[in-house]
Amino acid sequence: AAAAVAGDDDERARLAREELSALGRVIAAYGAYGDATRNEVARWEVALASLREEEQALVPRVAGRCKRARELVAANEAVLREALGFFDGGAEMLAAAEASGGRVPMDDVEKVRCVLRSLARDWSDEGAAEREACYAPLLEELRRVLPLPSLQHAGAVGGAADGA
């Protein structure tokens, strides 16, 4: 019986390490989002600058879109950092990930972008019906169980900035 308990403890410890490692990877990807996306926008700008003047005239809005993308990246980065602040140790884990200078796979950064696109859609006018169907029952139950003033107006929550 003692061996079974020790085996269960070992398994729990292994699962806890895996979970912490996965969380660290997610946090590192959140932290890498800004630099990776700004680098991508810089590549767009270099590609645009490499075009001849008459070619650039064919895509007159690209320069403005690059500027807007940089603004959206900054806004999204602020949303991500704010979100990490809600997790115990999230800010510390982000600081540690950034200090380590480790390379974050672009697939992980792309997952962050996907999360941001989903958030933007969920909280847009386009996503209102789906948001109502998905979140309204949760918010109603939270209001019932936790009648806090901050939950009474939870439907007014904003989302991330789409487009970056």
10 lies in some domain: yes
Residues 68, 163 contacting (CB under 8 angstroms)? yes
What pLDDT was estimated at residue 78? 93
Domain that holds residue 37: 2-105
| N-term to C-term CA, the chain | 55
What pLDDT was estimated at residue 143? 85
- Decide if pLDDT at 55 tops 90: yes
151 lies in some domain: no
92 lies in some domain: yes
161 lies in some domain: no
Task: Report residue 23's pLDDT band, with 50, 70 and 90 as the boundaries.
Answer: confident
Look at the chain and report how many structural domains it folds into. Answer: 1
Give the Å distances, CA to CA, from 5 to 8, 13, 18, 29, 161.
5, 12, 20, 36, 49
Task: Report residue 92's pLDDT band, with 50, 70 and 90 as the boundaries.
Answer: confident
Distance of alpha carbon 32 from its chain centroid, rounded? 10
134 lies in some domain: no
Letter for the amino acid at 110?
A: E
- Decide if pLDDT at 162 tops 60: no
Residues 91, 85 contacting (CB under 8 angstroms)? yes
CA distance 76 to 33: 9
100 lies in some domain: yes
